[in-house]
């Protein structure tokens, strides 16, 4: 049996160069070829100033992303990259196809929700974060502030499917239903939250081998829900932050 090697990254907020530099160095350290990079949202695809029109974040965060150079073919992504959307995205850039599309060579957006079969590994992805008030409402035809929230239709699209790796931006709630084996910066009010996210029942039903989450930047955890390994990744800010990425291998 052959093993397929992935590196999964937490939020990068437009620092695609740092992500790829980290992966290149990591490939040398593990002495193994990386088959693909997976990324859990807040990827940020801000190529030009016009892309800020539907980027709903405070102005102090309005910076062009490294992706501008890959979009213009000044650089080429050294690894095939699959990413989902977070809550800080240039939504007009990601509106082309809700089922997924190549943003530029080697960089694939997985859409609002989808499952990609890569070398026999089934990768599921869900864009956005949970907000009860938006969950049952339809997605507007044109990008607006509410696009950062995932909808029931997107979650239901993943149900009933076999998934090996599930990429989420938002964490699975409640934390009390995760058998946590390690954690960092988890506040007590987070632990006591009674919110039940739709992704919890999705994980129970689909039983993916691995579930990765981002969104909370300085917080991270590892644990399980049943047979599913749950990992919350930190934001990638420098190459040596080992809790902002994870190497996994899956036999195919």
Q: Which CATH number do you get for residue 177?
A: 3.60.21
pLDDT of residue 78: 98
Indicate whether 218 pLDDT > 80. yes
Instruction: Please count the structural domains in the chain.
Output: 1
Handedness of CA 195, 229, 246, 46 (dihedral sign): negative
Domain that holds residue 202: 3-251
Q: CB-hemisphere CA count at 13 Å for 159? A: 12
Indicate whether 1 pLDDT > 80. no
Q: What does the alpha-carbon distance between residue 51 and residue 71 come to, in Å, rounded to a whole number?
A: 13
Q: What does the alpha-carbon distance between residue 243 and residue 236 come to, in Å, rounded to a whole number?
A: 8
Q: What does the alpha-carbon distance between residue 176 and residue 15 come to, in Å, rounded to a whole number?
A: 33
Per-residue pLDDT averaged across 221-242, rounded? 95
pLDDT in tens, 120-158: 999 999 999 999 999 999 999 999 999 999 999 999 999
Provide, rounded to the nearest whole percent, the portion of the chain with pLDDT above 90. 89
The pTM score is 0.97
Residue 247: strand pairing partners: 7
């Amino acid at each position: 049996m052959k093993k397929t090697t992935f590196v999964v990254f937490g939020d990068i907020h437009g620092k695609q160069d740092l992500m790829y530099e980290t992966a290149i160095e990591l490939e040398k350290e593990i002495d193994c070829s990386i088959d693909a990079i997976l990324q859990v949202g807040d990827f940020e695809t801000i190529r030009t100033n016009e892309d800020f029109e539907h980027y709903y974040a405070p102005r102090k965060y309005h910076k062009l992303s490294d992706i501008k150079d890959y979009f213009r073919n000044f650089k080429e992504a050294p690894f095939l990259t699959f990413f989902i959307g977070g809550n800080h995205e240039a939504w007009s850039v990601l509106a082309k196809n809700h089922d997924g599309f190549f943003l530029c060579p080697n960089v694939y957006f997985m859409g609002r929700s989808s499952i990609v079969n890569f070398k026999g590994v089934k990768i599921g992805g869900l864009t956005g974060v949970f907000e009860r008030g938006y969950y049952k409402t339809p997605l507007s035809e044109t990008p607006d502030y509410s696009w950062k929230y995932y909808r029931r239709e997107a979650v239901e699209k993943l149900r009933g499917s076999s998934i090996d790796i599930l990429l989420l931006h938002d964490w699975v709630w409640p934390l009390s239903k995760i058998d946590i084996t390690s954690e960092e910066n988890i506040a007590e009010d987070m632990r006591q939250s009674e919110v039940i996210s739709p992704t919890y029942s999705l994980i129970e039903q689909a039983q993916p081998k691995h579930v990765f989450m981002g969104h909370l930047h300085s917080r991270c955890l590892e644990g399980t829900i049943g047979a599913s390994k749950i990992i919350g990744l930190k934001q990638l800010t420098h190459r040596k932050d080992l809790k902002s990425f994870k190497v996994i291998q899956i036999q195919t």
